[in-house]
A and B are shown apart, each in its own frame.
Chain A
Amino acid sequence: MQPIESFEVPAPPKVNYINAQYGLKSWLLTKDHKRIALLYLGSITFFFFIGGIYAMMIRLELLTPQGDLVQSATYNKVFTQHGIIMIFFFLIPSIPATLGNFLIPMMIGAKDLAFPRINLLSWYIYLAGGVITIYALLAGGVDTGWTFYTPFSTTFSNSYVVATGLGIFITGFSSILTGLNFIVTIHTMRAPGMTWFRMPLFLWSHYATSLIMILGTPVIAITVLLLAFERLSGVGIFNPALGGDPVLFQHLFWFYSHPAVYIMVLPSMGVVSELVANFSRKNIFGYSFVAFSSLAIAVFGFLVWGHHLFVASQSVYAGMIFSFLSFAVAIPSAIKVFNWTATLYKSSISYDTPMLYALGFIGLFTIGGMTGLFLASLAVDVHLSDTYFVVAHFHYIMVGGALMGYLGGLHYWWPKISGRMYPEGWGRFSALVIFVGFNLTFLPQFIAGYLGMPRRYHAYPPEFQVFNVLSTAGASILGLGMLIPSIYFVWSMRYGKHAEPNPWHLPGLEWRTQSPPPTENFEVTPIVTWEAYEFAPPEETEVVGKFGPELERI
């Protein structure tokens, strides 16, 4: 037990990982996990803005019922490319490759990830995949939907399916290598005293995420490869002319792509566990349950892919099992939500920007998860399948969940990453704007979808217009809300207040070194003698959560 006030913080030396070396070469050939995290941060932000431009085009087109902005064929490309860019090039790498890369070695007291060169390689692989995909977009785009369903993608589509597929295939390996690196690092690189159950929950969720990355991504890789060969040579396992089954593609695709949703949201859950515990200044309620629920989500996540095929000729008995298992995966997710709530109960919450995002996450993720149960119900899904209800549901998980966690984490660790504070007032303001904008965008889509508005059409019956106007208005607010942080983060790198080593006064290992950290993270290898989220001795903990008169009596 080490009281928080008495942390030994070495006098801040001037050398840190950012100014240790200068020049482009020192960045492009770096093996430092923190610099690689920043390289990833820059690249995924770039892709996020490309994906955002496509989102803007979608919302503008849907402002009016007529297809007046783009033609239907162009619209197909726009929503496809929005999906591909946002999922494969932003959401999948978002938290793991930036915050995970930066923080996993720091949180376990290591100097780096186990394989620094593989870490750098993964970034180059990501870039190579990104460049090929951008080439495909510029050359003419792709119109199959991000799902690439056969036989449309193999036989009928006239767009750049093979190039896009190649981009995704290559990028997949960066994800595999990241996951591999994390697993090995967490197994072998923990500092003395850092036992598995002393690890911050961020690490447990990244461990679970990495398991999905290494088990799922190879399957999508071989699937996309077979798809490309089939398109090029007319032969393949999905080709009905040879007796092949196009639905097999859907099985293989969703075997990865459903767990991929957990690749996106599990790291975010890890961030939220950190934020909730640390900004309530209280040990997390039910540490081991939160930790194991991450693993349970990873395991169950692999057994539910069939709920994407309820209306795709799948046997009704298989459908029943998949429906049941999809309900089952809600249990570990609910464990997390309840434990976060229980942690908040009677704690001393400080509403800093990261905490606003965390609270937003809990609410939005709950809505996203509950509507997922609607879709997991066999009969209801027949009505809701391929409507805007589905679109709203997965945006609540991916944007309301994954993106909120990402932004929360970025604010929370920004002082550590950049050595500067972001402007707190602007931070809170933009968190609220994003929350309002997000809900205004996607809540109306639930209703429009329930009333029967199909997804992936550029024109729609006029009675749906009111929902779409609301949605487009919300998207504009959301877009502005996103711009604010991107401006003040850049601003703060130069003009922000210098950050202390431990600006939030927290016990975690990453806060026990200077901000920004030196290249090897710690002056000496730390020895861990405390539990995660250990804030105060038990007698002091009693004080937490007591109100005025009660407190005075103590």
Chain B
Amino acid sequence: MIESHATTQDIHGHPALQHHFENMEQQREAGTIGMWVFLVTEIMFFGGMFLAYALYRNFFPAAFASASNHLDITLGAVNTGVLIVSSFTMALAVYFTQVGNRRPQILCLVLTLILGLTFLGIKAVEYHEKYTDRLIPGHLIPGASFGPEAHALHLLPGATLPQVEMFYWIYFAMTGMHALHMIIGAGLLTFLIVYSIKGRFDPEYHSPVEIIGLYWHFVDIVWIFLFPLLYLLGRHFEHG
């Protein structure tokens, strides 16, 4: 292994091979490990908010259930489906890049992008509902500070309005940070689509698709945790 190192394999360099790597395999491995390490930092980043959620849900179960009941479970469930399908198309895009099948590769990337934008659209509808119900916490939006009408929110016994506001702050912080990651993901997908159309990827050089795929799956998984925690837990308090 030592002897063969600097002699044979890197003479015919791939155009995408950067100068400081010995070969494509090393470059691909570095990129993949890099993305995994980055995802670890993302877990820690979201971890702070998950901690806050766990803590205050434990403190104020009734308020969290009341506020959770007001979220639109249908839209949330549809969005969950949309994201799962988008993960599937993303995985297909990675596969088609690896085997070098360019047309389905581009198609899958475009589908993933469309599904991601669909998610963001539905999320915007939900946010707007919260806005009209005056459920945006604090004075995040000037002139529309938190103050739901009595009929807009059914408080379970033991729940108070400030605690509901705390739930909505955590809801907006977590879903907002998730949506920001989706927007960044959409940008990355656009980059992938442009580069795919230009034909930059081939079976030997597909790591950008793979790495951004990892990122996309991670963002989906965050939602897979957010949906039950924010929408589903505690529904039985109200709906039996």
* Chain A contacts to B: CB under 8 angstroms: 110-116, 176, 180-181, 183-185, 187-189, 192-193, 214-219, 221-223, 226, 229, 233-237, 239, 241-245, 248, 252, 520, 524-525, 527
Q: How many residues of B contact A (CB 8 A)?
A: 43
Asked if residues A245 and B138 are in contact (CB atoms below 8 Å), the reply is no
Asked if residues A192 and B146 are in contact (CB atoms below 8 Å), the reply is no
Asked if residues B166 and A237 are in contact (CB atoms below 8 Å), the reply is yes
Partner of B20, one of A112, A226, A252, A524: A112
B157 at the interface (CB under 8 A from A): no
Question: Other than the known A222-B48, A525-B5, what 9 A-B pairs have Cβ atoms closer than 8 Å?
Answer: A176-B41, A183-B33, A187-B33, A214-B40, A214-B44, A219-B44, A233-B137, A243-B56, A527-B5
Most buried by A among B29, B30, B140, B160: B30
Known A-B contacts A110-B20, A188-B30; A235 and B138 likewise in contact (beta carbons under 8 Å): yes
Q: Least Cβ distance of B50 to chain A in Å? A: 10
**B2 contact set on A, CB distance < 8 A:** 192-193, 527
Q: Least Cβ distance of B52 to chain A in Å? A: 4
B218 at the interface (CB under 8 A from A): no
Partner of B29, one of A188, A221, A233, A252: A188
Partner of A219, one of B38, B47, B60: B47
**A226 contact set on B, CB distance < 8 A:** 48-49, 52, 173
Secondary structure at chain B's binding surface: helix, strand, loop or mixed? helix
Asked if residues A115 and B34 are in contact (CB atoms below 8 Å), the reply is yes
Partner of B33, one of A176, A184, A222, A242: A184
Q: 21 A-B residue contacts at CB 8 Å?
A: A111-B19, A112-B19, A176-B41, A180-B34, A180-B37, A180-B41, A184-B33, A184-B34, A214-B41, A215-B44, A218-B45, A218-B47, A222-B47, A226-B52, A235-B138, A235-B146, A243-B60, A244-B56, A245-B55, A520-B20, A525-B22
**B41 contact set on A, CB distance < 8 A:** 176, 180, 214-215, 217-218
Q: Least Cβ distance of A530 to chain B in Å? A: 13
**B170 contact set on A, CB distance < 8 A:** 237
B161 closest partner in A (C-beta) = A242
B43 closest partner in A (C-beta) = A218
**B40 contact set on A, CB distance < 8 A:** 214-215
B10 closest partner in A (C-beta) = A525
Which residues of B, 1-53, contact A by the 8 Å Cβ criterion? 1-2, 5-6, 18-20, 22, 26, 29-30, 33-34, 37-38, 40-42, 44-49, 51-52
- Complex Cα distance A110/B27, Å? 13
Which residues of B, 59-94, contact A by the 8 Å Cβ criterion? 59-60
Asked if residues A188 and B55 are in contact (CB atoms below 8 Å), the reply is no
Q: Least Cβ distance of B185 to chain A in Å? A: 18
- Complex Cα distance A244/B51, Å? 13
Asked if residues B45 and A188 are in contact (CB atoms below 8 Å), the reply is no
Known A-B contacts A237-B166, A243-B163, A525-B5; A219 and B173 likewise in contact (beta carbons under 8 Å): no
Q: Least Cβ distance of B181 to chain A in Å? A: 13
**B46 contact set on A, CB distance < 8 A:** 222
A-contact 0/1 string along B118-161, CB 8 Å cutoff: 00000000000000000001111000001000000000000010
